[in-house]
Chain A
């Protein structure tokens, strides 16, 4: 029962490099989300998707791109990494919030350091 799986778990990038973080869920959830978590800042929403082929911007979308080509996968891309993107990144998925079992399921996080 995997739930939400994030890869990789750790990564160190040099400034200007690019990378893609992968989020995969096996619960047939419609909605998926990418957050970043920084000390003292709580969770900040980067981008999210309410269904396959759709994406939307969150609070802090600059410097990131996303794609949801398959329902079970949500990719977060950094085209040109900056030290300000050093953070822990969390993916989450959910059903639409109208049902009784609504709630996010989170992955275990990706710790990214940009040097």
Chain B
């Protein structure tokens, strides 16, 4: 079935470091891909998305490129801040199962000054 796999956390970085959080997927057809962020004590918020191969989603300095050949949607940021500390969820929806998003298990990012 359709699924999303994220790298295990926590990811611990110093401020201004480069961030990569890996996400790979298995899906029937060509899914749309999403990254959500959950700050402490809050619900999830949509961070960025991409709906077709080679699309790049971007927001707040974060980027992710839809790579069909490697079935990946890795999240990157060039210079993280303490305020980026949160849990990041990768998710997909497929043309064959359009009722709901399928989420990965989340990756916790901790950024220290």
A residues neighboring B (CB under 8 Å): 4, 31, 33, 40-43, 45, 48, 50, 56, 58, 90, 92, 96-98, 100, 102-109
The proximity string for B residues 82-106 relative to A, scoring 1 for CB distances below 8 Å and 0 otherwise, is: 0000000100010000111101111
Contacts of B43 in A (CB 8 A): 4, 90, 92, 106-109
Please count the residue pairs between chain A and chain B whose beta carbons lie under 8 angstroms apart in the complex.
Answer: 51
Shortest distance from the beta carbon of A37 to any chain B beta carbon, whole Å: 9
Is there contact, CB below 8 Å, between A31 and B99? yes
Q: Which residue of A lies closest to B99 (CB)?
A: A50
Is there contact, CB below 8 Å, between B49 and A96? no
- Is B34 an interface residue when CB atoms closer than 8 A count as contact? yes
Q: In the bound complex, how far is the Cα of B100 from the Cα of A52, in angstroms?
A: 16
Q: Out of B44, B46, B98, B104, which one reaches A98, CB within 8 Å?
A: B98
